[in-house]
Amino acid sequence: MSLKFATIASSSSGNSVYIGTEKTKILIDAGLSGKKIQDGLKNIGVDCKDIDAIFVTHEHIDHVKGVGVLSRRFEIPVYATSGTWMSMPESVGCIKDKNKKYVYSSKKCIINDICLCPFSIPHDANEPVGYSIYDGKRKICVATDMGHVTKEVLSSLEDSNFLLLESNHDVDMLKNGSYPYNIKQRILGKNGHLSNETAGRLAAYLIKQSRNLKGIFFGHLSMENNTPSKAYKTVENILKSENIKIGHDAIVYITPNSQVSKVVKFI
């Protein structure tokens, strides 16, 4: 069985991740317009009508903007925690009861041949989660929108084969940037977003922890307070300082903000 992974978009302006086997095709988040997600999927040879489920991490608009449109247009079931359902913005619109599904932190949820396990993440949303995804052979994790790395996050990410990690901001760019003080404090806070540096240190720990971890996508970059080269340089310096060889020990890739990433294929 082969597994494909790609980000349709990944930034503070919109997030959607595609994961698919021959039998099962899912999205994690749909934080762009329905049209953009449809076009992105088409680029990688996936028809939106074949999507079996959308799993939502939390209610922020950069994660749910297209959820309602896609669910209504293609009758796609949407999975989210009860907190996320309660706080879903009105702009998402009505989702049919039969397409409203619930996930619970640490409880596995099976869709055909893919198993997903949500884990709590520290973020200023109502019951936000990341996801560990299993296809029987591999473990992939999607972990963005975290103010810091909790024990639960760490244990959920351990022993993964592949990761999408948040690398949201460069701390100096954020501190010296144009955002109002309270927003800066929110982003830097315990329930905000991960900096390039924290993401790099987390990656170094996880690569050393498991020989099976072969690749990390760094995503959810801030359009305002980060650049792909800053994110890459910071991560590269940290990995080098830990004697980790990029490309040999693990592949490192910065996801494009608003375009489809490269497609990773696991055979």
Q: Which of 60, 65, 139, 169 binds Zn ion (CB under 5 A)?
A: 60
Q: Which token pair is 67?
A: 């959820």
Which stretch in 3-11, 109-117, 143-151, 239-247 sits in contact with Zn ion by CB under 5 A? 143-151
169 lines the binding site for Zn ion (CB under 5 A)? no
Q: Which of 29, 59, 62, 170 binds Zn ion (CB under 5 A)?
A: 62
25 lines the binding site for Zn ion (CB under 5 A)? no
Place of tokens 């929108």: 145
Cβ(127)–Cβ(34) below 8 Å: no
Which stretch in 141-149, 151-159, 205-213, 245-253 sits in contact with Zn ion by CB under 5 A? 141-149
Strand partners, 250: 246
Which stretch in 55-63, 101-109, 148-156, 208-216 sits in contact with Zn ion by CB under 5 A? 55-63
SS3 state at 133: strand
145 lines the binding site for Zn ion (CB under 5 A)? yes
Minimal distance in Å, beta carbon 135 to Zn ion? 25
Q: Would you say 62 or 170 has its CB closer to Zn ion?
A: 62
Which residues are within 8 A (CB) of 33 and not within 5 positions of it... i.e. 6 or more apart? Answer: 65, 66, 69
Q: Would you say 168 or 234 has its CB closer to Zn ion?
A: 168
Which residues are within 8 A (CB) of 183 and not within 5 positions of it... i.e. 6 or more apart? Answer: none
Q: Which token pair is 87?
A: 């706080």
Cβ(23)–Cβ(113) below 8 Å: yes
Strand partners, 115: 110, 134
Task: Compute how many residues bind Zn ion; rule: CB under 5 A.
Answer: 3
Cβ(79)–Cβ(101) below 8 Å: yes
Residue nearest to Zn ion (CB): 60
Residues in contact with Zn ion by the rule CB under 5 A: 60, 62, 145
